Amino acid sequence: ETGVTQSPTHLIKTRGQQVTLRCSSQSGHNTVSWYQQALGQGPQFIFQYYREEENGRGNFPPRFSGLQFPNYSSELNVNALELDDSALYLCASSLVGDSWKQYFGPGTRLTVT
Amino acid sequence: GEDVEQSLFLSVREGDSSVINCTYTDSSSTYLYWYKQEPGAGLQLLTYIFSNMDMKQDQRLTVLLNKKDKHLSLRIADTQTGDSAIYFCAETLKAAGNKLTFGGGTRVLVKP
């Protein structure tokens, strides 16, 4: 049990729609990262937030955006969904002073039809 | 550049040792990790090793790091059926903060 929760568990959307995925971290975990895991592959880094500001981004287009809130929760927003966005989306948080150790949530399975 | 490679599949008998291998290309790795993912679940951090170490043992798990060959391995002693899962190695780099770069995963099947 990592103390990181994500909602919803599963989601089905249509191409072109927008989606918001949510993550809730433990108290004190002020760094949150989001990863996309396509079927049969390893997770790919999307971006990271630290103290409510973006702090690094992977090779994902601007239609992937995020927010981090003072209560250790965060959101991943994806606009103009494409079929290739179908994946498991994982968030990971880390503790102040221990940022190299990331704890993952169970993920949200997004299916785009 | 960043590249982490793993073999796709490993089959092992219950009670035997499993060895999962990983190679990486960037010598500026700071930490290297092993994560476990069971079906339909997120990632569980199993163990990690700092890049200036050669070996780390944690109960049934032994991590070996060969920096010269950029090779990381995870040995699981006395493998159990509950060890059946996908195992990912991952690294963080000095220049990239704590962004994790993952390999493609090794599916381990433990046969009774």
**DSSP helix, strand, coil percent of chain B (3-state; round to 5):** 5, 60, 35
Tens of pLDDT along chain B (112 residues) come to 458 999 999 999 999 999 999 999 887 878 899 999 998 888 999 999 998 889 999 999 999 999 999 999 999 999 999 999 999 999 987 666 678 999 999 999 999 9
Q: How confident is the model at residue A3 (pLDDT cuts 50, 70, 90)?
A: confident
Residues in contact with A1: Cβ distance below 8 Å, sequence separation at least 6, in sequence order: none
Chain B residues in contact with A2 by the CB 8 A cut-off are 42, 44
Q: What pLDDT was estimated at residue B51? A: 86
- Closest residue by Cα to residue B6 from B70, B76, B54: B70
Q: In terms of DSSP bridges, do strands A10-13 and A108-112 run parallel, antiparallel, or are they unpaired?
A: parallel
Q: Check residue A26 and report its DSSP letter.
A: P
The neighbouring-strand residues paired with B88 are B35
Question: Over chain A, what is the mean pLDDT?
Answer: 93
The answer for residues whose C-beta is within 8 angstroms of residue A47's C-beta and 6 or more apart is A33, A34, A54, A56, A57, A58, A60, A64, A66
Residues 35-94 on B with a CB inside 8 Å of A are 35, 41-45, 48, 88, 90, 92
- Asked if B96 lies within 8 A of A56 by C-beta distance, the reply is yes
Q: How many cross-chain Cβ pairs, A to B, lie less than 8 Å apart? A: 63
The bridge status of strand A108-112 relative to strand A103-104 is unpaired
CA geometry: angle at B18 spanning B13 and B24, to 5°?
145
> Which of B4, B88, B98 is nearest residue A100 as measured by Cβ atoms?
B98
Dihedral angle over CA of B38, A43, B102, B37, nearest 10: -10
Q: Which two tokens stand for residue A98?
A: 């221990």
Q: Choose among A32, A19, A34, A33: nearest CA to A71.
A: A32
> Which candidate from B42, B88, B96 shows the least CB-CB separation from A107?
B42
Q: Determine, for residues A43 and B30 on separate chains, whether the beta-carbon distance falls below 8 Å.
A: no
What is the distance, to the nearest Å, from the Cα of residue A1 to the centroid of all Cα atoms in its chain?
18
The residue in chain B having the minimum alpha-carbon distance to the alpha carbon of residue A4 is B42
Q: Do A42 and B88 touch (CB under 8 A)?
A: yes
> Sheet harboring B61-66: ordered strands across?
B4-6, B18-24, B71-76, B61-66, B55-58
pLDDT of the residue at A30: 86
Q: Find the residue in A nearest to B102 (Cα).
A: A42
pLDDT of residue A1: 66
Would you call B4 and A42 a contact, using CB atoms and an 8 Å cutoff? yes
